Amino acid sequence: MSTAPPTARAGVLSRAILYAILAVFAIAYLMPLYVMLTTSFKTLDEIHQGNMLALPDNWTIQPWLEAWGSACIGLECNGVHGYFFNSIRIVVPAVLISGLLGAFNGYVLTKWRFRGHRIVFGLILFSCFIPFQIILLPMARVLGILNIANSVTGLVLVHIVYGIGFTTLFFRNYYETFPNELIRAAQLDGAGFFTIFFRILLPASTPIIVVTIIWQFTNVWNDFLFGVSFASGDSAPITVALNNLVNSSTGVKAYNVNMAAAMVAAVPTLIVYILAGKYFLRGLMSGSVKG
């Protein structure tokens, strides 16, 4: 009767220990999400019993209806549904425009080099390290001059401007590894600036496009500082509405409604990472952090 060699047994044991440690960290990391989800289906009386980890005894979707705005509390009909669509109206154009501009910048800085291109890239890269707080007053002034302050359009512009530095960094480093021979061959065949970009580079940029979309989507959707600084009322994004919902509660805190609203705000980001998470890692490995 043969037995496994000591080295094989040691390898199995070390792998089991590693998986056990990873499982512990995964449980600890996902525990807040579990508490939020279960609390959102509980009644207030059950929540006040204090057992956060217990599953609901009486499942109810009333907190979700109240959080979304489909149900009323007394004479008030509050909810985050309008602000949820505000965030969609902000995130879609901001991600698409900043991504396209970043792709053009990366294309020019790598395949159509000009004198001083390194200085230009350094200045763009520097914008990635500027704290949000520094640009609040200048940006507020710009939005006032353009007459788009306190509007969804103004927030779109803010996120486009702040995101160009990151998108340019991603595409520039990706295109740096793209063969220059293909560009020269296309030029010899008579292809121009836009033809090369749209017919050659952009179709081959799927990995970095996914990285850019996920990065920008996460930053724009989860932004609070710009939203609370440059928008209010009906033009506010969902993060601001969520903060207002939690802080406007009087008397007994409706923790179930607050948790349901937080889950509503988190669902789009979760969906993006679930559907495109593996492509995000592939994109990073395919050149977005090189150079």
- Domains of the chain, by residue range, sit at 6-62, 81-288
Q: What angle do CA 285, 115, 194 make, to 5 degrees?
A: 60
The answer to whether the Cα torsion of 159, 162, 163, 168 is positive or negative is positive
Cβ 151 vs Cβ 235: under 8 Å:
yes
Q: In the predicted model, is pLDDT for residue 141 greater than 90?
A: yes
Share of the chain above pLDDT 70, in %: 89
Phi, psi (5° rounding) for residue 76?
-100, 135
List Cα–Cα distances, 11 to 7, 22, 32, in angstroms.
Answer: 6, 16, 33
CATH number belonging to the domain at 81-288, selected among 1.10.510.10, 3.30.360.10, 2.100.10.30, 1.10.3720.10 = 1.10.3720.10
Which amino acid would we find at residue 74?
A: G
Report the C-alpha gap between 143 and 148 in whole angstroms.
5
* Mean pLDDT for the stretch of residues 166-191: 88
Residue 249: pLDDT band with limits 50, 70, 90 = low
Give me the chain's average pLDDT, please: 85
Token output for 12: 């199995």
Q: In the predicted model, is pLDDT for residue 286 greater than 90?
A: no
* Mean pLDDT for the stretch of residues 207-214: 90
Q: For position 217, what pLDDT does the model report?
A: 94
Q: Which of 98, 171, 166, 167 is nearest to 128 (CA)?
A: 166
Q: Specify which residues 76 forms β-bridges with.
A: 73
Beta carbons within 8 Å of 101's beta carbon, 6+ residues apart = 160, 164, 167, 168
Q: What does DSSP assign to residue 86?
A: H
Per the rule left: phi > 0, alpha: psi between -120 and 50, beta: everything else, 119 is alpha
How far is C-alpha 232 from the geometric centre of its chain's CA atoms?
A: 21
Beta carbons within 8 Å of 186's beta carbon, 6+ residues apart = 195, 196, 199, 200
Q: In the predicted model, is pLDDT for residue 165 greater than 80?
A: yes
How confident is the model over 41-98, as pLDDT tens digits?
A: 999 888 888 788 888 888 999 999 888 875 444 334 467 888 999 999 999 999 999 9
Token output for 137: 């007053």
Q: What angle do CA 87, 89, 94 make, to 5 degrees?
A: 90
How confident is the model over 117-135, as pLDDT tens digits?
A: 889 988 888 888 888 888 8
